[in-house]
Amino acid sequence: MLIVALVSVFIVRLADIQVVNAAQLNEQSDERRTSTQVLHGARGDIVDANGTVMATSVDRWAVTISPMHTRDIELEDGTTITVGQMLKQLGEITGQDPNALAAALQAETDKDAESNYLVLATGLDVEQYEQVRQMRTDWQLPYIDLESRPERTYPLGSVGGNVIGFEGTYGESLAGLELMQDACLAPTDGSRLAEVSPDGTEIPGTVRVDQPAVNGGTLQLTIDSDLQFSTQQILAQYQEDFGARSATAIVLRKDGTVAAIAETPTVDPNNPQAIDPQFRGARTFTNAYEPGSTLKSVTLAAMIDQGHVDVEDEWTVPWQYQQGPVVLNDSFVHGDMPWTTTGILANSSNVGMVTMAEGFDRSILYDYFADFGFGETSAIEFLGEQPVQLRDPATLDDQTTANQMFGQGIAVTPIQMASSYLPFANEGKRPPVQLVSGCTNQEGETASPKVGDPVQVLKPETASDMNEMMEVMVNESSQDFGIDGYRISAKTGTAEVAYPDGSGYDPNAWIISTTGVFPTDEPEYVVHVMIEYPIPSMRTTGAVGAFHDIVNLLIRHDSIPPSTTEPSDLDVEW
Amino acid sequence: MSTAALRQRDAERDVETGSERAEKPGLRALPRWRPRSGPKLIHGAVALAGLAGIVIAQLGVSVALADGAMEVKDIQTQTSEAKLHQQAMSEQLATLESPQQLASTAQGLGMVSSEQQHFISMATGEVTVGADAPKQTAQALNSGGLLYVPNELVQSQVQLDDATGKAALAAQQEREEQGYPGMLEPVEGVAADD
């Protein structure tokens, strides 16, 4: 009977162990025998059009300490390593003030006497990591630990920093493509289980990979980092010379892909705090401004495309215009000039533009504005990009209606202004602008962003006419920004800046710009340059110098040979 | 049945019985029963030796496995150290080949971009003029000695190079003041720059 009872007890216990609590016991057993390790996947790189790495992830470490266990350590040879010594040595390695480290340690202990975790330093590179590890081993410091914290690094610094964006202290994406394309770049962590001996050594053959880590994808941009760097360098020099607040340059290939988006000042993603917050983003997409005379090419193209005017029409243009409540004048005093339509554009005459626009239906003009890409975000849809809604032409007063013909009373973003010249380089078609070429995942599969179809904005002959007229503008300019042997089409602009409250224009604030197409006969690039708030003495110089140097750079970069066709012979006067 | 038939049958039966008797063995005595003897010493020795062999083999395998595990761990440590070293080198290389570093080094060496670009026709050998001189000479560093296109990773290197360069220049000037064997002396009759 006793035997039967004993066997019954054993059977019940066996069932309890093998069936009822099997899972829990297995788990407890695994906890004792196995070590679970998180497998960190690497965040994907951001590379330029040629594969040059612009952003990548590197191993970095944080030094953590257990304040409650921090004490003087006596070594086997009788030497005592004090906490002060440790902090001094750590400070020498990390470049921190040992007193500040001691203060942080004391503050943590005062706050919580049983605190077991405090981060003393972050961002240690390989050399510093090795030094701290050596210190910990030599001095047998049980209370110090090194925690892996991969960080983002940007080998090219601020080259394209405005669009690439940056991460925060804890690796969170905060701006630019880092944030916009997080789905492509972010890795998926995995886990790894292995049985270990009491000293932590993995037992061979017991490794079980539960889930492998998946690295983030590689994001390829359309930007050429060499061009981007050189454009930023040119721009920064002009900004310094002009005493300007900032400057922007956009280089688009004729197919709408972005070759460079240069802004200065530009954030260096390696150290975003080093720059004023207003310059940490991409102003190309977020800042609206009144374009001024660079918009004349757009409004004139609409009138020519509709047959409202012709390139060789003859006009008599005074320097002032007054019709009812509308009063305006040209930027320089002149008599009644016998200008052709080309002459009006070449001389950037406000009076001429408004005179030509008499009787032109503004609702048609607004349709053209929409086709040119104004009033909507670009196809890039950059973070915080402004669509800058177009106002209903029926609600505009007469003065604003007139002013819009020469780029006042309408706001655009720099990317809108640049892409509005794409129809001149594409026989009247405007392809969507594109910044991201594709995302390639770990398996090598590339996903390209969906790009819309080009919009036929102008008739091909209108685009050709406009290129010739703008070429005449370059060749007739007193500012000498053409390049001998090359055909370049461009339009300059000097725009006033309105007060934020709409009470008028700030007499000391100007935005000088130049936008153009190059080469005229076989367009390859659209270049847009703007210098914001130059010192007054430099205002009349315009942005033509920077435009010239960027076109010069493109010729050298692509080894573009001189044009083989004759320049335009359109008449300026009749 | 007739008498003759009966006689015949009995005779056949006698013949059969006689042949059976001839083939069957005769009765014999069973061997005497003896109790089974206990295991011999040799058996125990063999069993113990086998057991010892198994234990020793198991120990050997365990030692080999542990040794192998240690070796694997050592190799893994070496691999991770090599990876760290490679990463440190890659970071240095990326910094050295960054455009800021190249531009500032080029500027330090006195290099400038060409004034006028030319093209040579491979077919005719004709030389044509390309891009003219930029209106601004491209500079890596601004008037404050900072990079026009900032790079936190390079700026410190540039400053370091600058400091190293100045220290080397000062050392060279000091040596020249004292003079050293083989030092090139100014040519007599050539006026020094004022």
Residue of B nearest to A236 (CA): B148
pLDDT value for B194? 38
* CB–CB contact B84 A232 (8 Å): no
Span A522-529, average pLDDT: 95
Query: Which B residues in the span 84-143 are in contact with A, Cβ-Cβ below 8 Å?
Result: 84-85, 87-88, 91, 94-95, 98-100, 103, 113, 117, 119, 128-136, 138-140, 142-143
A418-453 pLDDT, tens per residue? 999 999 999 999 999 999 999 999 888 999 888 889
Span A338-345, average pLDDT: 95
Question: Residues A548, A315: contact at Cβ < 8 Å?
Answer: no
* CB–CB contact A229 B99 (8 Å): yes
Size of interface A-B (CB pairs under 8 A): 137
* CB–CB contact B65 A201 (8 Å): no
Q: What CA–CA distances, in Å, run from A460 to A297, A428, A456, A465, B100?
A: 15, 5, 9, 9, 42
How many alpha carbons fall within 13 Å on the CB side of residue B114? 10
B193 domain-assigned: no
Smallest CA–CA separation between B92 and chain A, in Å?
10
The phi and psi torsions of B85 (rounded to 5 degrees) equal -60, -45
* CB–CB contact A234 B100 (8 Å): no
pLDDT value for B192? 41
Tokens 């005779």 found at? B11
Give the Cα separation of A553 and A525 in Å (integer): 12
**First-to-last C-alpha distance (Å) of chain B:** 169
The partner residues of A516 in beta bridges, in order of sequence, read A490, A527
CA-derived radius of gyration, chain B:
55
Smallest CA–CA separation between A38 and chain B, in Å?
16
Residue B191 pLDDT > 50, yes or no? no
* CB–CB contact A204 B128 (8 Å): no
User: Judging by beta carbons within 10 Å of its beta carbon (0-12, 13-18, 19+), is residue A399 exposed, middle or buried?
Assistant: middle
- Nearest CB neighbour to B130, from listed A232, A234, A555: A555
Query: Which B residues in the span 32-91 are in contact with A, Cβ-Cβ below 8 Å?
Result: 65-66, 68-70, 72-73, 84-85, 87-88, 91
Closest by alpha carbon to A380, among A509, A285, A477?
A285
Give the Cα separation of A571 and A77 in Å (integer): 96
Give the Cα separation of A229 and A479 in Å (integer): 26
Structure tokens at A164: 């690439």
* CB–CB contact A230 B65 (8 Å): no
Local structure of residue A110 (DSSP, 8 states)? H
Local structure of residue A279 (DSSP, 8 states)? G
A129-182 pLDDT, tens per residue? 999 999 988 888 888 888 887 888 999 999 999 999 988 877 788 899 999 999
Q: What angle do CA A402, A403, A408 make, to 5 degrees?
A: 155
Q: How many CB atoms lie within 10 A of CB A39?
A: 16
B113 CB neighbours in chain A (<8 A) are: 556
A17-63 pLDDT, tens per residue? 888 888 888 877 777 677 777 777 889 999 999 999 999 988 888 89
B10 domain-assigned: no
Q: Residue type at A411?
A: A
Residue B161 pLDDT > 70, yes or no? no
Q: Which domains does chain A possess?
A: 46-216 (3.90.1310.10), 225-558 (3.40.710.10)
User: Judging by beta carbons within 10 Å of its beta carbon (0-12, 13-18, 19+), is residue A358 exposed, middle or buried?
Assistant: exposed
* CB–CB contact B151 A270 (8 Å): yes
pLDDT band at A183 (very low <50, low <70, confident <90, very high): very high
Rounded to the nearest 10°, the torsion over CA A128, A131, A133, A134 is 170
Span B25-34, average pLDDT: 78
Residue of B nearest to A241 (CA): B136
Torsional class of B98: left (φ above 0), alpha (ψ -120 to 50), beta (otherwise): beta
**What is the residue range of B79's domain?**
46-104
Closest by alpha carbon to A41, among A170, A209, A187, A217?
A187
Q: What's the number of domains chain B is made of?
A: 1
Smallest CA–CA separation between A232 and chain B, in Å?
7
Residue A463 pLDDT > 60, yes or no? yes
Most A CBs within 10 Å, among B135, B153, B158, to test the A interface? B135
The two counts, helices (H) then strands (E), for chain A are 20, 25
B156 domain-assigned: no
B80 CB neighbours in chain A (<8 A) are: none
A85-119 pLDDT, tens per residue? 999 999 999 988 889 888 988 999 999 888 888 88
pLDDT value for A202? 65
pLDDT value for B128? 85
Give the Cα separation of A117 and A289 in Å (integer): 51
pLDDT value for A360? 93
- Nearest CB neighbour to B131, from listed A157, A229, A555: A555
E strands within A483-555? 489-498, 505-518, 525-532
B122 CB neighbours in chain A (<8 A) are: none
Residue B155 pLDDT > 80, yes or no? no
pLDDT value for A203? 72
Please tell me whether residue A218 adopts helix, strand or coil conformation: strand
Q: How many CB atoms lie within 10 A of CB A236?
A: 23
Give the Cα separation of B6 and B15 in Å (integer): 14
Residue A234 pLDDT > 70, yes or no? yes
B81 domain-assigned: yes
Pick the range with the lowest mean pLDDT from A197-211, A312-326, B172-186: B172-186
Q: What CA–CA distances, in Å, run from A310 to A122, A176, A360, A366, A488?
A: 67, 44, 13, 20, 21
How many alpha carbons fall within 13 Å on the CB side of residue A402? 19
Structure tokens at A337: 């000039």
A225 CB neighbours in chain B (<8 A) are: 99
* DSSP of A306-330: TTSS-TT-EEEE-SEEEETTEEEE-
Tokens 């972005």 found at? A258
Give the Cα separation of A293 and B58 in Å (integer): 90
Structure tokens at B21: 């008797």
A126 CB neighbours in chain B (<8 A) are: 84-85, 87-88, 91
Q: What CA–CA distances, in Å, run from A513 to A40, A373, A411, B60?
A: 48, 19, 14, 82
Residue A225 pLDDT > 60, yes or no? yes
Span A466-493, average pLDDT: 90
B72 domain-assigned: yes
pLDDT value for B193? 41
Q: What CA–CA distances, in Å, run from A40 to A151, A189, A196?
A: 12, 5, 20
pLDDT value for A207? 74
A130 CB neighbours in chain B (<8 A) are: 84
The phi and psi torsions of A522 (rounded to 5 degrees) equal -135, 80
Residue bearing the bigger pLDDT, A504 or B125? B125
Please tell me whether residue A216 adopts helix, strand or coil conformation: coil
pLDDT value for B4? 58
* CB–CB contact A233 B73 (8 Å): no
Q: How many CB atoms lie within 10 A of CB A456?
A: 14
pLDDT value for A294? 94
Give the Cα separation of A16 and A412 in Å (integer): 75
A260-310 pLDDT, tens per residue? 999 999 999 998 888 888 888 889 999 999 999 999 999 999 999 999 999
B71 domain-assigned: yes
B173 domain-assigned: no
Residue of A nearest to B119 (CA): A561
B95 domain-assigned: yes
In this complex, is the C-beta atom of B158 within 8 Å of any C-beta atom belonging to chain A?
A: no
Residue B22 pLDDT > 80, yes or no? no
Residue A215 pLDDT > 60, yes or no? yes
pLDDT value for A378? 93
Local structure of residue A43 (DSSP, 8 states)? P
* CB–CB contact B129 A232 (8 Å): no
Residue A210: enclosing H or E segment and its boundaries?
strand A208-211
